[in-house]
Structure 1
Amino acid sequence: MNIPLDTDLIVMAIWGLIFAIFVIKLFQSIRLVPTKSAYIVERLGKYHSTLDAGFHTLIPFVDKVAFIHDLKEETIDVPPQECFSSDEVNVEVDGVIYISVTDPVKASYGITDYRYAAIQLAQTTTRSVIGTLDLDRTFEERDVISAKVVQVLDQAGALWGIRVHRYEIKNITPPETVKNAMEMQVNAERERRALLAKSEGDKQSKINRSEGVKAETVNRSEGEMQRRINEAEGKAEEILTISRATAESIERLATVIAAPGGHNALRMQLGEQYFKQLDGLSQKNSRVVLPGNMVDFDYWMNSIGLTEEKPS
């Protein structure tokens, strides 16, 4: 009597389990896809559709979400790796990749792990590019290295359903011995530039002083030349003025002499000046030689041609 009862319980338990599984699958068939996400749906193991953002329902036991992709841009660290430059110097380089999924189907079925593949390709490309550059240029050509890595990753990303936005090198670390040598080189270059700047400053200072002395000398000579020109012009103007005044006075004197009574007036003035000169010489106790006939003043005047001609 107990065996049939146990069998019914087992059957009921099995149907209950089946119902629970069906309910769970039914709830799992309801999918809410967030923004900037993509769900890859497989039906009976084959790609069926890609679910975009929103509400979706699947067929239980037939459809399943095989891959979930985040379509936002993400960063992937590239681990440090050793690279040899063209001058055989070992440097350690690491970086970061900025990528995003553009084709969820290719990202699911085109490659097993696109993140790992992108890291490996970035490392190999970095090694090949640094191998063509000298150590000094590796620090200067970071943009060239990054551009080359992005170019190679873009070509591969077209098949993987991803897009590489940029690749940045974070650190390029040379060995300690090379770092010490580079520091010494930098210090030597700084000292050389300092000495060069000082010598250029001294040179410019001497040039400025010499130009100042030259300008001062030129200004002085030009000033002296202008002073002499002004003095000469002043003297010439003075001589010209005196000559004009003398000519004018002579002309007026001749006019006065030619006038009636002019000779007599001139004789009187000359006589007065003559006797004043004699008086001045006598007061100075000077020796004066006088003519023998002081009374005959007309004779002296006739000797200089200032006697008035009498009409015949």
Structure 2
Amino acid sequence: MEQFFGSEISPMDIFVMLVWGALFLVLIVKFFQSIRLVPTQKAYVVERLGRYSKTLDAGFHALIPFFDRVASIQDLKEETIDVPPQECFSKDEVNVEVDGVIYISVMDPVKASYGVTDYRYAAMQLAQTTTRSVIGTLDLDRTFEERDLISAKVVEVLEKAGEGWGIKVHRYEIKNITPPRTVRDAMEMQVNAERERRAIMARSEGDKQSRINRSLGMKTEMINRSEGEKQRRINAAEGKAQEIISIARATAASIETMADVLSLPGGENAMKMQLSEQYMKQMQGLANPSRKIILPANLLDYDAWMNTVGLTPSKNKPS
């Protein structure tokens, strides 16, 4: 054997040194493992000698080596769990494929660690079975309309189970409801027929309203025209009446003036002279065939003409 520091080392000594070195390394490792830095929104479940001891919150913690160990680490943030597609039968015996998503978070780390083996898998399975049972009570058409009902029922069932699992189910959303290809084709034909029916109804309503509007416009136009014609005739009649009244008033005033003039001295002679002038002017218009003049039988009989106008001739005829 080789000498070390002037003394010989036996194989037993080497073995003992290796054992102590291993124990020292284990102590070092356990010492560092006993120091825990817990991040925010994390919870460390600690067991002491195989039994639950405490839950470590965010911050610095020191454990007892060889006695304490972190049994599980729970994430307290809200997490999303995809529910894989599954086949469900509706009330009217139509096979549909449904998938969804669950939003949950751990509220009690101890129950989440010891209350169920895997709360994520358990929640997913319970959501699938509840979805199948709810869709089985609905017709196919209602499954597309009652998404909120299905989601609410799944959340209700998961809430009851989550009390023992230490989790809280915030919501459950159905992503897709996929019927068979034949059913989708029939539904598409139904939608197209409904859309065509609505288009025909819209066109008929538009044509009906257009005809009504045109008839109302024609009615209004005829009423306006008749009202205008009525007002025009009323205005014409009022104008004619006003004209007749004005002429009558002028004629009455003229007659009164003539009477006043005739009652004055020399008034009758002046009137006769004026009438004589008018007579001579009318005689000058005999050459115009378009004019109609009332004449006495004898054109030279001035007295007869004076009688036609209502005046008594004088004995002295105008020359």
Instruction: Give your verdict on TM over 0.5.
Output: yes
TM-score (norm 1): 0.87
Task: Report the CA distance between 1:269 and its aligned residue.
Answer: 2.8
1:219 is matched with: 224
What amino acid maps onto 1:290 in structure 2?
A: N
Candidates 244, 249, 256, aligned match of 1:244 = 249
1:62 paired to 2:67:
yes
Q: How many residues align?
A: 303
Gaps of 5+ in 2: 2-8, 315-319
The equivalent residue for 2:297 is: 289
Q: Partners of 1:294 and 1:204 in 2: how far apart?
A: 82
Q: CA deviation at 1:11?
A: 2.6
The Cα offsets for residues 65-99 of structure 1, whole Å up to 9 and x where unpaired, read as: 01101111111110111111111111110011111
Taking the aligned partners of 2:244 and 2:119, their CA distance within structure 1 comes to 109
Amino acid at match of 2:116: I
Counterpart position of 1:156: 161
Is the CA contact 2:296–2:304 (under 8 Å) kept in the aligned structure 1?
no
Q: How far did residue 304 of structure 1 move?
A: 4.6
State how far apart, in whole Å, the 2-side matches of 1:240 and 1:224 are: 24
1:259: which partner in 2? Answer: 264
Residue 74 in structure 1 maps to residue 102 in structure 2? no
Distance in 2 separating the partners of 1:156 and 1:79: 20
**Do structure 1's residue 139 and structure 2's residue 147 form an aligned pair?**
no
Rounded to whole Å, the distance in 1 between the matches of 2:260 and 2:137 is 113
TM-score between both structures, scaled by the size of structure 2: 0.85
The 3 A distance-change label for structure 1 pair 269 and 182 is: same
Q: What is the DSSP-based 3-state SS (H/G/I as helix, E as strand, rest coil) of the residue aligned with 1:91?
A: strand
CA distance in 2, matches of 1:222, 1:273: 48
Provide closer, same or farther for how the CA distance between residues 283 and 48 of structure 1 changes in structure 2, counting only shifts above 3 A: closer
Structure 1, unaligned runs of 5 or more: none
Task: Provide the residue aligned with 1:173 in structure 2.
Answer: 178
Deviations 1:272-308 (A, max 9, x none): 4445555655997x995239x958x49976x956479
SS of 1:229 mapped into structure 2 = helix
Q: CA deviation at 1:148?
A: 2.0
Provide the secondary structure at the position in 1 that maps to 2:169: strand
Whole-angstrom distance in 2 between the partners of 1:148 and 1:27: 48
Structure 2 CA distance for partners of 1:230 and 1:169, relative to 1, 3 Å: same
Residue matched to 2:114: 109
Partner SS, residue 10 of structure 2? helix
Contact 1:282 1:288 in 2 (8 A): no
Match for residue 23 of structure 1 among 28, 48, 53: 28
- Asked whether the 8 Å contact 1:72–1:101 carries over to 2, the reply is yes
> Identity of aligned pairs, percent?
69
RMSD, matched Cα = 2.9
Q: 1:137: how far off? A: 1.5
- Kept in 1, the 8 Å contact 2:306–2:312? The answer is no
**SS at structure 2 position matched to 1:94:** strand
State the match for 1:207 in structure 2. 212
Corresponding position of 2:239? 234
Matched, 1:45 2:53: no
